[in-house]
Amino acid sequence: MKPVVLAGGTGSRLWPKSRAALPKQFLRLTCQLTMLQDTIKRLDGTQIDAPIVICNDAHRFLVAEQLRQEDIKHGGILLEPVGRNTAPAIALAALHASLGGEDPILLVLAADHLISNKAEFHKVIQQAEKLAEQGKLVTFGIVPDSAHIGYGYIKRGNAASAQEVGYDVAQFVEKPNLATAQSYVDSGEYYWNSGMFMFKASRYLEELAKYAPEMLEICKKAIASESSDLEFVRLDADIFSTCPDDSIDYAVMEKTDSACVVPLDAGWSDVGSWSSLWETAEHKDANNNVVIGDAILDGVHNSYINSEQRLISVVGLDDVVVVETKDAVLVAHKDKVQDIKNVVNQLKAEKRPEFEFHREVFRPWGSYDSIDNGTRFQVKRITVKPGEKLSVQMHHHRAEHWIVVAGTAKVTNGEQTLLLSENQSTYIPIGVIHALENPGKIPLELIEVQSGTYLGEDDIVRFSDRYGRVESK
């Protein structure tokens, strides 16, 4: 069995923690692991192959680094040139997994779900595998514990097999209103649609050929064009961009006569909002509050408070969400957190940086934190991991001053090569080609002061780069 982990998406309802450049699947929201790491480590103890991970090109280094941190081996990191929803993404994984002539059973998982009962999850995987071996296309139906209107539902039909656990799918249902959802739960015949699947690679491709042949042909051409870039698998953008945009539910599962549903009752959540993080939190205080970070509460009940950097004080409020990051604060009623997407859309429309980036931005070589800025200056705290190097580059509009705070910096400054240690500095004039490298064994920490007429990140001309980012950014 080969896991396929879908790691695309933006998680906009978890802003300001989740942003376009660092969405929720790469955050530590439910435990000490990121959601991507937790999704894969959840499979420990099962006889399952290394996962195929599918992600956006912009997130490739995040995925690689997070797998490396937990020593997770993978069966390929497939880069989608553009997002085309789940049906094409899974087709790419099925085709890639079949290149050696094999026909593995694929376990399709989202990278941003929570499952608290790992043992039960393993048990249900084994039950589903028997159905997948028989050629069934299995979806996992979550046993509902409430009339939730944020999920689609699956109605079960007859038993899929006399010997195995599972049912034929009678109907897929869109997100209902509250009264309808309650009737579904009361009937005992409906499950939440989890968005997790299991099937043989060949069976999925066969059904896709029946119901979405154009999609399949484009995915085949895209896989035929695949090339390796470091540890990533790249696809031809011109080919894949012509692929129809459709979910696996619409493209295949609602049309095939081989769909079956296996019930799963293992503490599942799609962590789709701040209120769901409140609901699933293991620890609440005496007033039913979830408190993360530095906070003082007085007369507060049933609330979620998450502080990243500074003290938060909340007085006399119930059922609220307060989330603080280095550059933004969210305050919302717990019943209105679904509307956070309206704020995100406004940020995007106004082209505000808070839509895409955090104040601290992660790069394959380390990170930078924009700690101060003004009309013609910007100050960053830069961290370079041991052995890593930034691109050889120059700027048209800004000069830079570098002061080493900790570690050793190897600096290319025009024709000069310098080794700078703690408390030493250098000045990079406008238009001078330069590079920064950490030759040491500990992280390099330095302060960068930029000054000039334009300080945007797109004022970078790269001449060489070990991460394949030679084009201007």
Q: Give the separation between CA 341 and CA 430, rounded to whole angstroms.
A: 40
Confidence of residue 229 (pLDDT cuts 50, 70, 90): confident
The answer on pLDDT for 47 being more than 90 is: no
Q: Which are the contacts of 207, defined by CB distance < 8 A and separation ≥ 6? A: 137, 252, 255, 256, 258
pLDDT tens digits along 115-133? 999 999 999 999 999 999 9
pLDDT in tens, 308-332: 999 999 999 999 999 999 999 999 9
Assess contact for 293 and 313: CB atoms under 8 A.
no
Kindly list the distances between the CA atom of residue 424 and the CA atoms of 185, 391, 408, in Å, as whole numbers in the listed order: 67, 21, 10
Mean pLDDT along residues 19-38 = 95
Q: What is the pLDDT of residue 52?
A: 97
Tens of pLDDT, residue by residue over 347-401, are 999 999 999 999 999 999 999 999 999 999 999 999 999 999 999 999 999 999 9
User: Which pLDDT score, from 0 to 100, does residue 471 have?
Assistant: 58
Q: How far is CA 237 from CA 61, 112, 219, 240, 343, in A?
A: 19, 26, 11, 5, 31
DSSP per-residue string spanning 358-397: -SEEEETTEEEEEEEE-SSEEEEEEEE-TT-BPPEEE-SS
| Closest residue by Cα to residue 270 from 338, 199, 198, 318 | 338
Kindly state the helix (H) or strand (E) to which residue 170 belongs, with its residue range: strand 167-173
Across the chain, what does the average pLDDT equal?
95
With a cut of 90, say whether residue 161 has pLDDT above it: no
pLDDT digits (tens, 9 = 90+) for 252-264: 999 999 999 999 9
Query: What sign does the CA torsion over 130, 133, 135, 141 have?
Result: positive
With cut-offs at 50, 70 and 90, classify the pLDDT of residue 100: confident
Contacts of 310 (CB under 8 A, 6+ apart): 294, 324
Q: Is the pLDDT of residue 112 over 50?
A: yes
Give a three-class secondary structure readout of 92-107.
Answer: HHHHHHCCCCCCCEEE
Whole-number Å distance between alpha carbons of 459 and 428: 14
